Amino acid sequence: MTLSSTEVAALHHAETPADFAACFDVIRQLRPKLQSAGDWHAQAEAMRSEGYRVLVCRDGERDAAVAGYRISTNLVHGRFLFVNDLVTLDSVRGKGLGRLLLRELERIAEAEGCERLVLDTAIANLAARRFYTREGMEERIAGFIKPIGTPA
């Protein structure tokens, strides 16, 4: 089942503490270290200075999918939109909400003069990798992580 054209208007950016509270269950599915909606809002606000925004998709009366993103520039990609977070509630997967978020992110990227849309996903997350491939994205980068200092 996919979304009808009348449901496209269900996209909005989270701006207020109430907005972040409404989508907390969604982001916590991807980021379980977040302890509360207040923590989620505070962290998103701290990242706002780096251009971080949160796009939310409603499914009926509830927030059901979230994409956190920022516009950036570097020597590899030029100007690009980086997707920090993209998650759909397990209970509504397959309805086209993730696709809807990606399409809106592509529209935003184009409007912002970006050359690319870029994201990272865990190597072990095969479902996400298949989804992104199906949506026309290419796997092109191997990411490396090295913890610094004492873990929080």
Q: Hey, where are the domains in the chain?
A: 5-134
Structure tokens, 62: 């509830």
Q: How many CB atoms lie within 10 A of CB 10?
A: 17
Q: Which residue in 61, 52, 70, 50 sits closest to 22, CA to CA?
A: 61
d(CA 65, CA 88): 4
Per-residue pLDDT tens for 125-148? 999 999 999 999 999 888 888 889
Q: Lowest-confidence range among 25-29, 92-96, 102-106, 107-111?
A: 92-96
Percent of the chain predicted with pLDDT > 70: 93
Within 8 A by CB and 6+ apart from 37, the residues are 17, 20, 21, 24
Contact 79, 114 (CB under 8 A): yes
Pick the CATH number of 5-134 from 1.10.10.10, 3.40.50.300, 3.40.630.30, 1.10.4160.10: 3.40.630.30
Per-residue pLDDT tens for 32-57? 999 999 999 999 999 999 999 999 99
The pLDDT value recorded for residue 144 is 87
Tokens 């251009």 locate to 51
